C-alpha cells in the first residue's frame, strides 16, 4: 500500500470511535443532558467486549456485552440527572470514575488476566457496515425525522416542549439509551483494533469527541467532518514517527501529543463562538 | 345552545378553593372575554376547560355533549386549543418546525407539504412568514400569529388566549383582534383572558367577570362602560387617577446623546424633579439598554449622564446608587432579589453599606429590620415574617416589596421597568400611586412599560423609543393614543 493509502485507512479507523462517541454525545447534549461521561462509556464498552469476548470465545457476544455495559452506564446517567436531578457535570464525573475503577478491577482479576491475552475480534467489515448504517439512520432521523425535532425541542426548552405535549424526561432517557449504544459500539471498535485490554486504553477519545461536538456547534454533518480531522491528526503520528523532518527526527512524544494539542488549540480558537442548545444542563 | 358550557365548576387546591360553582358559556362565532383580578380564578377555569386540571365538581359540555377531559390531549382532540401567556415558540427552530411541533403527522417530516398547508392556513388571515428562518428572528407580533396558526394546524374550533396582547404594540394588538374577529366569523369560538379593559369593550362580544373564585356576572359587552366593568372586577368603584399637574423643579437626570451600538442612538432627555415620565415602546427597542446604561451596568459608546447635576457617565453603579438612583428591575429573580434569602436581607440588597443598614462599617441589624418592616408595609405586602424567604411570596407581593424598597428613601431618581407586571388592578394602582406620591414629594421617575394605556393613565408625560431612537411627542399630541402608538413603531406621528 502506498503511504497515502495507509494514512487514509488509518484516519478512518482512528476516526470511527470519535464519530461514535461524538454522535452519542450529540444525542445526549441535544436532548439537554451535558455529557462528560462519553470517555467512561467507551471504556466500559471496550472492557466488556474484551472480557466477554475472551471468556466465551465469541466476538459477537463481546459486542453485545459492550452495548449492554455502556447502555447501563448511560441509563444510570439518565437516572442521576433526570430522576435525582443531579448536576450534570458532577454526575458525568462520577460515572467516569466508576468506569475507570471498575475496568481496572475487572482487568486485574486473576481469572481474567489469563484469558485477556486471547482477544477475539469482530471482523472490521461487519462492524463498519453496522456503523455506517446506524450513523446514516440517526442522521436522517435528526435532520428529517419527527424524533430529531422532538430531540431538538426538549434540548432547547423542556418547559415549552412540555406545553406542546412532549415528555422531556422520556425523550432524554431514549437519547441516553442511544448514547449508550453508540459508545458500546465505539468500545467494540477500539477493542477490535487492539491487542488486548489495557487500563485507560480509550486515551481521552471520549473527551476529544466532546470537544469536536462543541467545536461544530452540536450539528451532525460538521461533527462527522470534525471527527475525521481529529482522526487524521492522530494518524499523522503513525506516518511521521521516526521520519526526519527538516533534518531532525522529532521525538515520538510530540506526535503522540498532537491530537490533544490540536483539540486544545481548536477549542481555544472556537470557544464561545458556537451556540449550545439553550436547555443544556437545565433540569 | 352554547358550544362551550361549563356548569357549576368547583376546583380546590388543598384547603384553598380556587373557583367555586362557576358557570361559563361561550358561543360559536363570538369573542368572549374572561376578566378578573390576579387570583380570581380565570386561569384555573381555563385550565379546566383545556383539560390541564380536573374539576372537583361540575360538568364540562362541548357542543352539547358532556365530556370528561383527563388531559390536554383530550381537550385538543375535542377541538380546544390554548395560547398560554408565555409563548411556546422555540427560538432556535424555524417557524415551520415550531408550527408542527407535537402535532406531526408521521415519523418523517415533509417540509414542502407542511409549508404548503401552512400557507393555506395563513393566507386567508393575511399572515406572512419566512417559514425557514429561525423563530428567534420573528417579532412578538409575528410570534403571536404563529401561536394562532399552531391552534389552526391542530384543527382547534375553540381557541383560548391567555393575555394575548401583553407583549404587543397597540397596532399589533389591534391586528390581533382583527384576526380573532375573522376567525369568529368563520365559526370559531374565541375566549380571551385579559386584564386590559379597553380591549374587552372594543374587541369582545361577551364578558364574564370572576372575583375571588366566584362568578360575578356574565353579559354582552354592548352597553357596558369602563367604570362599570372595573367596579365589577374589583368589587368597589374605581376612579381613574386624577393627574394633577406636576410641580416641576430642577433637572435631576439629564441624558445627552447616549449611544450604545445599535441599541441606543443619540438618546437625549431629562427628568425634572416632580414628574413621572412614561417611556412607551415595543419590547426590545432599547429600553433595557437605556436603563442599564443609566444604572452603570452597560458602558455607552458616547454621551453623558448627569445625576442631580453631577456627571456620572463614568461613575460606578455603587456611586450612582449613592447619588439617589434607584431601579425597580424588570426581572425580579435575576436582578432584584435573592429568592432564598429572607425579606430582611433582601431589604438591604445594594444598600447594605449605607445607613440605616450599616453604621461605622458594621451592619445594623436592628435598623435593617425596622426599614424592612416599613418597606413591606408601604404597599401592603402580604407576608408572615420578615425572616421568611422572599421567594415564598406570590409574584405580586414580591413586586410590592421591591417597589417599596426602591421608593423607601424619597427624593431620588427612580427607574422602573414594567413595575406593574404581574399585578392586579389594585396592585397596579398601588405601584403607580406610590410612584406618583414619590414624584409629588420632589422625586422623579421614569417608567418603562409595553402597555401604552397604563402609561397614559398614570404618567405626567410620555416619551417613546423605537429602534433605539427616543422621540418626544409634540405638545398637541402629548396624550394622543394613536399618534404615540405610531411613534412607538417608528412611524411619523
Please indicate, yes or no, if residue B331 is contained in any of the structural domains.
no
Domain closes at, from B374, B390, B408:
B408
Alpha-carbon gap, residue A63 to A188, rounded angstroms:
6
At residue B385, the pLDDT reads 85
Q: What is the pLDDT of residues A40-91, one digit of tens each?
A: 999 999 999 998 988 888 899 999 999 999 999 999 999 999 999 999 999 9
Percent of chain B at pLDDT exceeding 70: 98
Q: Are residues B226 and B259 located together in one domain of the fold?
A: no
At residue B311, the pLDDT reads 92
Question: Tell me, what CATH number does B265's domain have?
Answer: 3.40.50.300
At residue A117, the pLDDT reads 59
A160 has a chain B CB within 8 A of its CB: yes
Domain closes at, from B186, B214, B234:
B234
Beta-strand relationship, B276-280 and B444-449:
parallel
Q: Which of A44-48, B231-235, B386-390 has the highest mean pLDDT?
A: A44-48
At residue B360, the pLDDT reads 84
A137 has a chain B CB within 8 A of its CB: no
CA distance A63 to chain B (A): 29
Q: Is residue B375 over pLDDT 90?
A: no
Of A145, A147, A163, the CB nearest to B88: A163
At residue A29, the pLDDT reads 96
Please indicate, yes or no, if residue B138 is contained in any of the structural domains.
yes
Q: What is the pLDDT of residues A200-225, one digit of tens each?
A: 899 999 999 999 999 899 999 999 99
3-state per-residue secondary structure call for chain A: CCHHHHHHHHHHHHHHHHHHHHHHHHHHHHCCCCCCCHHHHHHHHHHHHHHHHHHHCCHHHHHHHHHHHHHHHHHHHHHHHHHCCCCHHHHHHHHHHHHHHHHHHHHHCHHHHHHCCCCCCCCHHHHHHHHHHHHHHHHHHHHHEHHHHHHHHHHHCHHHHHHCCCCHHHHHHHHHHHHHHHHHHHHHHHHHCCCCCCCCCCCCHHHHHHHHHHHCCCCHHHHHHHHHHHHHHHHHHHHHCCCEECCEECCHHHHHHHHHHHHHHHHHHHCCCCCCCCCCCCC
Q: Is residue B243 over pLDDT 80?
A: no
CA distance B82 to chain A (A): 10
Please indicate, yes or no, if residue B146 is contained in any of the structural domains.
yes
Q: Are residues B291 and B153 located together in one domain of the fold?
A: no
Q: Are residues B265 and B118 located together in one domain of the fold?
A: no
pLDDT mean over A270-279: 77
Contact criterion met (CB < 8 Å) for B100 and A149:
yes
Please indicate, yes or no, if residue B480 is contained in any of the structural domains.
yes
Q: Is residue A276 over pLDDT 90?
A: no
Q: Are residues B206 and B250 located together in one domain of the fold?
A: no
Q: Which of A104-118, A246-260, B9-23, B414-428 has the highest mean pLDDT?
A: B9-23
Q: Are residues B312 and B174 located together in one domain of the fold?
A: no
Of B88, B107, B108, the CB nearest to A164: B88
Q: Are residues B218 and B246 located together in one domain of the fold?
A: no
Q: Are residues B386 and B463 located together in one domain of the fold?
A: no
Contact criterion met (CB < 8 Å) for B90 and A145:
no
Q: What residues form DSSP beta bridges with B108?
A: A145
| Burial classification of residue A196, based on how many CB atoms lie within 10 Å of its CB (0-12 exposed, 13-18 middle, 19 or more buried) | middle
A138 has a chain B CB within 8 A of its CB: no
At residue A114, the pLDDT reads 59
Q: Is residue B424 over pLDDT 80?
A: no
Please indicate, yes or no, if residue B359 is contained in any of the structural domains.
yes
A149 has a chain B CB within 8 A of its CB: yes
At residue A7, the pLDDT reads 87
At residue A26, the pLDDT reads 97
Q: Is residue B470 over pLDDT 60?
A: yes
In chain A, the residue whose alpha carbon lies closest to the alpha carbon of B92 is A156
**What nine digits make up the cell of B416?**
422602573
Alpha-carbon gap, residue A190 to A204, rounded angstroms:
12
Please indicate, yes or no, if residue B332 is contained in any of the structural domains.
no
- Do residues A226 and A161 lie in contact, with contact meaning Cβ atoms separated by under 8 Å? no
Alpha-carbon gap, residue A69 to A49, rounded angstroms:
9
At residue A172, the pLDDT reads 96
**What nine digits make up the cell of B485?**
402608538
The distance from CA B41 to its chain's CA centroid, rounded to whole angstroms, is 18
Q: Are residues B163 and B283 located together in one domain of the fold?
A: no
At residue B412, the pLDDT reads 86
Confidence of residue A266 (pLDDT cuts 50, 70, 90): confident
A190 has a chain B CB within 8 A of its CB: no
Alpha-carbon gap, residue B304 to B192, rounded angstroms:
45
pLDDT mean over A227-250: 83
Selection from A205, A188, A204, A180 nearest residue A48 by Cα: A188
Confidence of residue A33 (pLDDT cuts 50, 70, 90): very high
Q: Is residue A116 over pLDDT 70?
A: no
At residue A115, the pLDDT reads 59
Alpha-carbon gap, residue B449 to B432, rounded angstroms:
12
**CA geometry: angle at B473 spanning B444 and B300, to 5°?**
60
Q: Are residues B265 and B377 located together in one domain of the fold?
A: no
Q: Which of A44-53, A108-117, A271-280, B347-356 has the highest mean pLDDT?
A: A44-53
Q: How many CB pairs under 8 A join A and B?
A: 55
> Which residues constitute the domain of residue B400?
344-408
Neighbours of B79 (CB within 10 A): 18
pLDDT mean over B338-344: 90
DSSP-derived letter for residue B194 is -
In chain A, the residue whose alpha carbon lies closest to the alpha carbon of B99 is A164
pLDDT mean over B288-308: 92
Tell me how many domains chain B contains.
3
Q: Is residue A164 over pLDDT 90?
A: no
Of A146, A156, A163, the CB nearest to B93: A156
A146 has a chain B CB within 8 A of its CB: yes
Alpha-carbon gap, residue B307 to B270, rounded angstroms:
10
At residue A219, the pLDDT reads 93
Contact criterion met (CB < 8 Å) for A156 and B91:
yes
- Do residues B471 and B463 lie in contact, with contact meaning Cβ atoms separated by under 8 Å? yes
Contacting residues of A for B91, CB less than 8 Å apart: 156, 278
Contact criterion met (CB < 8 Å) for B107 and A146:
yes
Percent of chain A at pLDDT exceeding 90: 60
Of A149, A160, A278, the CB nearest to B97: A149
For chain A, list the domains and their CATH numbers.
3-271 (1.10.3470)
Please indicate, yes or no, if residue B339 is contained in any of the structural domains.
no
Q: For residues A118 and A15, which has the higher predicted lDDT (pLDDT)?
A: A15
| Residue to test with chain A: of B73, B90, B100, most A Cβ within 10 A | B90
**What nine digits make up the cell of A181?**
449504544
Contact criterion met (CB < 8 Å) for A164 and B102:
yes
Alpha-carbon gap, residue B424 to B427, rounded angstroms:
5
Percent of chain B at pLDDT exceeding 90: 42
pLDDT mean over B25-43: 89
A163 has a chain B CB within 8 A of its CB: yes
Q: How much is the mean pLDDT over chain B?
A: 88
The distance from CA A253 to its chain's CA centroid, rounded to whole angstroms, is 24
Q: Are residues B268 and B140 located together in one domain of the fold?
A: no
Q: Is residue B404 over pLDDT 90?
A: no
Alpha-carbon gap, residue B488 to B466, rounded angstroms:
6
| Residue to test with chain B: of A151, A154, A165, A279, most B Cβ within 10 A | A165
- Do residues B276 and B413 lie in contact, with contact meaning Cβ atoms separated by under 8 Å? no
CA distance A108 to chain B (A): 47
Of B91, B100, B109, the CB nearest to A145: B109
Domain closes at, from B408, B442, B457:
B408
CA distance B77 to chain A (A): 12
Confidence of residue B230 (pLDDT cuts 50, 70, 90): confident
A157 has a chain B CB within 8 A of its CB: yes
**What nine digits make up the cell of B67?**
365530556
Confidence of residue A2 (pLDDT cuts 50, 70, 90): confident
Q: Which of A126-140, A264-278, B153-167 has the highest mean pLDDT?
A: A126-140
At residue B476, the pLDDT reads 85
* The residue to which cell 372595573 is assigned: B230
DSSP-derived letter for residue B245 is P
At residue B241, the pLDDT reads 65
Q: Are residues B56 and B184 located together in one domain of the fold?
A: yes
Q: Are residues B144 and B197 located together in one domain of the fold?
A: yes
| Burial classification of residue B262, based on how many CB atoms lie within 10 Å of its CB (0-12 exposed, 13-18 middle, 19 or more buried) | exposed
CA distance B90 to chain A (A): 7
Please indicate, yes or no, if residue B330 is contained in any of the structural domains.
no
Confidence of residue A111 (pLDDT cuts 50, 70, 90): low
Distances from the Cα of A201 to the Cα of A66, A72, B174, angstroms: 15, 20, 66
Contact criterion met (CB < 8 Å) for B90 and A157:
yes
Amino acid at each position: 500500500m502506498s503511504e497515502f493509502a495507509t494514512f487514509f485507512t488509518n484516519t478512518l479507523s482512528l476516526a470511527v470511535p470519535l464519530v461514535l462517541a461524538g454522535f452519542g454525545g450529540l444525542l445526549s447534549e441535544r436532548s439537554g443532558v451535558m455529557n462528560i461521561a462519553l470517555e467512561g462509556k467507551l471504556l466500559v464498552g471496550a472492557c466488556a467486549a474484551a472480557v466477554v469476548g475472551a471468556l466465551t470465545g465469541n466476538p459477537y457476544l463481546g459486542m453485545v456485552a459492550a452495548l449492554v455495559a455502556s447502555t447501563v452506564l448511560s441509563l444510570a446517567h439518565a437516572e442521576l440527572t433526570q430522576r435525582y436531578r443531579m448536576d450534570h457535570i458532577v454526575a458525568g464525573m462520577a460515572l467516569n470514575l466508576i468506569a475507570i475503577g471498575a475496568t481496572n478491577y475487572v482487568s486485574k482479576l486473576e481469572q481474567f488476566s489469563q484469558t485477556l491475552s486471547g482477544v477475539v475480534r469482530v471482523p472490521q467489515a461487519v462492524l463498519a457496515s453496522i456503523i455506517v448504517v446506524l450513523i446514516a439512520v440517526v442522521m436522517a432521523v435528526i435532520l428529517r425525522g419527527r424524533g430529531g425535532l422532538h430531540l431538538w425541542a426538549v434540548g432547547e426548552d423542556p418547559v415549552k416542549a412540555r406545553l406542546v405535549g412532549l415528555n422531556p424526561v422520556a425523550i432524554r432517557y431514549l437519547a441516553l439509551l442511544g448514547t449508550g449504544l453508540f459508545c458500546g459500539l465505539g468500545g467494540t471498535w477500539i477493542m477490535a483494533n487492539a491487542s488486548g485490554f489495557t487500563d485507560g486504553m480509550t486515551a481521552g477519545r471520549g473527551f476529544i469527541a466532546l470537544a469536536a461536538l462543541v467545536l461544530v456547534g452540536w450539528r451532525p454533518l460538521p461533527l462527522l467532518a470534525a471527527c475525521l480531522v481529529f482522526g487524521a491528526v492522530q494518524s499523522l503520528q503513525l506516518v511521521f514517527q521516526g521520519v526526519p523532518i527538516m533534518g531532525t527526527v522529532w521525538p515520538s512524544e510530540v506526535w503522540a501529543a498532537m491530537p490533544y494539542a490540536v483539540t486544545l488549540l481548536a477549542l481555544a480558537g472556537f470557544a464561545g463562538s458556537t451556540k449550545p442548545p439553550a436547555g443544556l444542563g437545565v433540569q | 345552545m352554547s358550544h362551550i358550557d361549563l356548569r357549576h365548576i368547583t376546583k380546590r387546591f388543598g384547603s384553598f378553593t380556587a373557583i367555586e360553582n362557576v358557570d361559563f358559556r361561550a358561543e360559536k362565532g363570538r369573542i368572549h372575554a374572561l376578566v378578573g383580578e390576579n387570583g380570581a380564578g380565570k386561569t384555573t377555569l381555563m385550565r379546566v376547560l383545556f383539560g390541564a386540571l380536573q374539576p372537583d365538581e361540575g360538568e364540562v359540555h362541548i357542543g352539547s355533549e358532556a365530556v370528561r377531559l383527563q388531559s390536554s390531549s383530550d381537550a385538543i382532540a375535542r377541538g380546544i386549543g390554548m395560547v398560554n401567556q408565555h409563548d411556546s415558540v422555540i427560538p432556535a427552530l424555524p417557524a415551520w418546525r415550531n408550527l408542527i411541533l407535537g402535532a406531526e403527522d408521521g415519523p418523517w417530516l415533509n417540509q414542502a407539504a407542511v409549508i404548503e398547508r401552512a400557507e393555506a392556513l395563513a393566507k386567508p388571515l393575511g399572515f406572512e412568514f419566512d417559514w425557514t428562518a429561525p423563530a428567534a428572528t420573528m417579532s412578538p407580533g409575528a410570534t403571536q400569529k404563529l401561536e394562532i396558526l399552531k391552534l389552526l394546524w391542530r384543527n382547534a374550533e375553540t381557541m383560548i388566549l391567555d393575555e394575548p396582547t401583553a407583549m404587543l404594540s397597540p397596532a399589533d394588538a389591534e391586528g390581533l383582534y382583527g384576526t380573532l374577529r375573522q376567525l369568529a366569523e368563520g365559526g370559531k369560538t374565541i375566549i380571551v383572558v385579559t386584564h386590559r379593559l379597553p380591549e374587552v369593550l372594543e374587541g369582545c362580544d361577551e364578558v364574564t367577570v370572576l372575583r375571588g373564585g366566584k362568578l360575578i356576572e356574565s353579559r354582552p359587552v354592548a352597553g357596558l362602560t369602563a367604570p362599570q366593568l372595573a367596579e365589577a372586577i374589583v368589587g368597589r368603584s374605581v376612579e381613574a387617577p386624577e393627574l394633577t399637574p406636576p410641580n416641576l423643579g430642577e433637572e435631576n437626570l439629564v441624558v445627552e446623546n447616549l449611544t450604545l451600538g445599535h441599541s441606543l442612538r443619540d438618546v437625549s432627555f431629562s427628568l425634572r424633579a416632580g414628574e413621572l415620565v412614561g417611556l412607551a415602546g415595543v419590547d426590545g427597542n432599547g429600553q433595557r439598554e437605556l436603563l442599564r446604561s443609566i444604572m452603570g451596568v452597560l458602558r455607552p459608546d458616547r454621551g453623558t449622564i448627569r445625576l442631580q447635576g453631577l456627571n456620572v457617565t463614568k461613575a460606578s453603579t455603587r456611586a450612582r446608587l449613592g447619588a439617589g438612583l434607584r431601579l425597580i428591575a424588570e426581572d425580579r429573580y435575576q436582578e432584584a432579589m435573592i429568592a432564598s434569602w429572607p425579606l430582611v436581607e433582601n431589604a438591604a440588597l445594594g444598600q447594605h453599606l449605607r445607613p440605616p443598614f450599616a453604621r461605622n462599617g458594621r451592619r445594623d441589624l436592628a435598623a435593617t429590620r425596622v426599614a424592612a418592616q416599613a418597606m413591606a408595609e408601604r404597599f401592603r405586602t402580604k407576608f408572615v415574617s420578615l425572616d421568611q424567604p422572599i421567594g415564598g411570596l406570590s409574584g405580586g407581593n414580591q413586586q410590592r416589596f421591591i417597589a417599596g424598597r426602591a421608593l423607601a428613601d424619597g427624593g431620588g431618581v427612580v427607574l422602573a421597568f414594567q413595575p406593574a407586571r404581574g399585578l392586579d388592578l389594585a396592585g397596579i394602582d398601588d405601584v403607580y400611586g406610590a410612584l406618583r406620591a414619590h414624584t409629588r414629594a420632589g422625586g422623579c421617575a421614569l417608567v418603562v412599560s409595553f402597555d401604552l394605556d397604563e402609561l397614559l393613565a398614570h404618567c405626567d408625560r410620555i416619551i417613546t423609543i423605537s429602534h433605539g431612537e427616543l422621540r418626544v411627542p409634540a405638545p398637541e399630541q402629548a396624550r394622543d393614543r394613536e399618534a404615540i402608538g405610531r411613534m412607538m413603531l417608528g412611524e411619523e406621528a
